[in-house]
Amino acid sequence: MKEASPAKAYALHVGVIVLLFALSFVLPEYHHGLLARIMVLAVFAMGYNMLFGYVGLLSLGHAMFFSAGLYGAGLAVIHLGWSVPAAFAAGLACGALLALVIGLLALRTSGVAFMIVTMMFAQVFYLIILYLAAWTGGDQGLVVPQSARVLVLGSTSLGLTNPTVRYMSALVLFSIVLLMTLAVVRSRYGRVLVAIRENEERTKMLGYDTFSNKLAAVVVSGTICAASGAAYALLFGYVGSTFASVQYSILPLLWVLLGGAATTLGPLIGTLFMYYVVDITSGYTSAYLLIVGIALILLVLFFPKGILGTIRQRWLGWLP
Amino acid sequence: MHFGPHLLLAALEGLVTSAVLALTALGLSLVFGVMRVVNVAHGELFMLGAVLAWAISTAISGHPALGFLAALVLAPLIVGLIALVAERLVLRRLNYNPEATIVATIGMLYIIQQLALTFYGPEARPVEAPFSYRILLPWFGYSGYKLSIIAASALLLVATWFVLTRTKIGLVMRATQYDSETAQAFGIPVDRVYAGVFALGAMLAAVAAVLIVPISQAHYLMGQDPLLLSFIVVIIGGLGSLRGTVVAAVLIGLSDGIISVFFSPTLAKIIATLLVAMVLVFRPQGLFGTASR
């Protein structure tokens, strides 16, 4: 893999962000709303990619980190009446703490056992949400009241229900996480993670503490996913147990596989593509899970590197 | 009802759960043991067995036992065939890579579930039991059919044990499990053994589903709980160990039956899942299994 000059890589990413900014002014209302949602969910996928793509740890339980952020932020607003920034921070803290605990336990295993253990912890988290229905609303979920979803900045207050504010907030979160991912991947730490993915024993032999590096990656990944969940609760105003179910652990895997694991822009492309495929096909059939299933099988069979991974391999070796 | 009879009833219900669970989990365990493939779609193959049992038994008129017997023979065969096709088309091409096969079987899970919803519908439908004899105990009457489930399951488990340990087929399977490359070098068609084991695992799930469907109805989401419980049983029992699987199934089935009589089922599930995750973290070879090579 050829190494891009930093300027080229950053130019590409800033270009993508500028494009998304410009799209805000030209897109029709329906697609405008859809793209805001896709950007928030792409953050979820980027968090997943951090662990799956770069460290090679396949988790089947990331829905718990997303919903830790979702419930952390949502419940802080609903039950405690916290302001939007405080609730967002609460969501992040919940995700980071949960990721630390889960990482300490689950990283004792590897391979298939890691997949099953993460799935089981996520299942426990999901069942706890159902069990505590008095606070979480159970499988009905809760609506975050519109009056509470107002971001106060100095003397101006921005209603997060306003489509433009919502789009721009999603874009800001997306841009921060995208540039942060790029910086991490190009850093020394990012290279250690890739080294662990390629050959953990050898990395250990070279004197790196692989366990604490992996643990840090789980925490970073979990926190990014929690940021996505917290933003989802605050921007779209709904908190529900569906987001903690197994399906929401599988979806980021699908998005990342489709877009290209271990590529910085792959998660966005995968999420965008899959969201529109489901959106378009749901016009003809309600069987969108069928599409998800077929896509998963075709991807692992024929395109294990995903869209951007294949492009990088064939044509653009410098893609980060 | 007093505490004693209540406990007996809970234990009987638990044994019925155990019987079905042991068969389902044995299928999952065989597939994992021999092929090193975690089949996430196993629960959906179970569901498919139940749905097919409904379809077959409603297609055949006459005495309910006739339709049930036809379902007991045909449904597992059809499910086995579907599994065989899936194995040839997908798993073999992935070279049985453990992580890729999990993703692929998740895909199968969604496909089977959605197809069942599309063609069978969201309703839960019953299948009539082949006979409705009730055994009268001093405290309550108990369904004779439920007791026959326990007997049928025990029979099938013994048969599987016999095939695995006392026949040429079992020897070939164990050789493949122990070291597939050496087995290949000795002329064992490893490829066909894998296909056979995958189909057999699916058929065990389907048989279990046909047995349970007269008392629990066929529904397109019914595969979720058996999948999770089978995982739990296989992990506690030690991956790929037949004896461990059966012991764990009885343990889990009984405690599930008894706990959910006295406590909230959600709380029971939380505790059980958490305990199993901890077993996997701190004792990955299972409670009864031997350390992996």
Residue A3 has pLDDT above 80, yes or no: no
- Please tell me the total count of domains within chain A: 1
Q: Looking at residue A99, what is its pLDDT?
A: 96
Most confident of A143-152, A210-219, B218-227: A210-219
Residue A292 has pLDDT above 50, yes or no: yes
Instruction: Test A300 with B94 for CB contact under 8 angstroms.
Output: yes
In a domain, A132, yes or no: yes
Q: Looking at residue B179, what is its pLDDT?
A: 86
Instruction: Test B104 with A300 for CB contact under 8 angstroms.
Output: yes
Instruction: Test B281 with A117 for CB contact under 8 angstroms.
Output: yes
In a domain, A137, yes or no: yes
Residue of A nearest to B111 (CA): A290
Backbone angles phi, psi at B96, to 5 degrees: 60, 25
In a domain, A222, yes or no: yes
Q: Please report residues of B whose CB lies closer than 8 A to that of A250.
A: 106
In a domain, A1, yes or no: no
In a domain, A3, yes or no: no
Q: Which of A75, A77, A71, A119 lies closest to A225, judged by CA?
A: A71
Sequence-separated (6 or more) residues with CB below 8 Å from residue A81: A148
Residue A194 has pLDDT above 70, yes or no: yes
- Which spans in chain A are helix H? 6-26, 29-49, 63-80, 84-106, 111-131, 133-136, 163-186, 188-198, 200-205, 210-236, 247-259, 266-281, 288-302, 306-314
pTM for the structure as a whole? 0.84
Instruction: Test B231 with A128 for CB contact under 8 angstroms.
Output: no
More reliable by pLDDT, B159 or A9 = B159
Q: Which of A114, A60, A42 lies closest to A258, judged by CA?
A: A42
Residues of chain B whose pLDDT is less than 50? Answer: 291-293
Determine the average pLDDT of the residues in A171-186.
94
Q: Please report residues of B whose CB lies closer than 8 A to that of A242.
A: none
In a domain, A271, yes or no: no
Of chain B, the end-to-end C-alpha distance in Å amounts to 51
* Rounded distance between C-alpha atoms, residue A43 and residue A49, angstroms: 10
More reliable by pLDDT, A119 or B266 = A119
Q: Please report residues of B whose CB lies closer than 8 A to that of A289.
A: 110-111, 113-114
In a domain, A83, yes or no: yes
Residue A289 has pLDDT above 50, yes or no: yes
SS3 of residue A185 by DSSP:
helix
Q: Looking at residue B239, what is its pLDDT?
A: 65
Q: Please report residues of B whose CB lies closer than 8 A to that of A296.
A: 103-104, 106-107, 110
> Is residue A130 a contact partner of residue A241, using CB atoms and an 8 Å limit?
yes
The number of helices, as runs of H, and strands, as runs of E, in chain B is 11, 2
Instruction: Test B269 with A105 for CB contact under 8 angstroms.
Output: no
Instruction: Test A304 with B100 for CB contact under 8 angstroms.
Output: yes
- Shortest distance between the Cα of A162 and any Cα of chain B, in A, equals 36
Q: Looking at residue B291, what is its pLDDT?
A: 46
Q: Which residues between 97 and 136 in chain A have a beta carbon less than 8 angstroms from any beta carbon of chain B?
A: 105-106, 108-109, 111-113, 115-117, 120-121, 123-124, 127-128, 130-131
Q: Looking at residue B293, what is its pLDDT?
A: 39
Q: For tokens 């037949």, name the residue.
A: B242
- The H-or-E segment that residue A156 falls in is strand A156-159
Domain that holds residue A119: 14-240
Determine the average pLDDT of the residues in A243-261.
89
Residue A227 has pLDDT above 80, yes or no: yes
Residue of B nearest to A109 (CA): B281
In a domain, A318, yes or no: no
What rounded mean pLDDT belongs to chain A? 89
Q: Please report residues of B whose CB lies closer than 8 A to that of A116.
A: 38, 231, 235, 280
Instruction: Test A120 with B231 for CB contact under 8 angstroms.
Output: yes
Q: Please report residues of A whose CB lies closer than 8 A to that of B236.
A: none
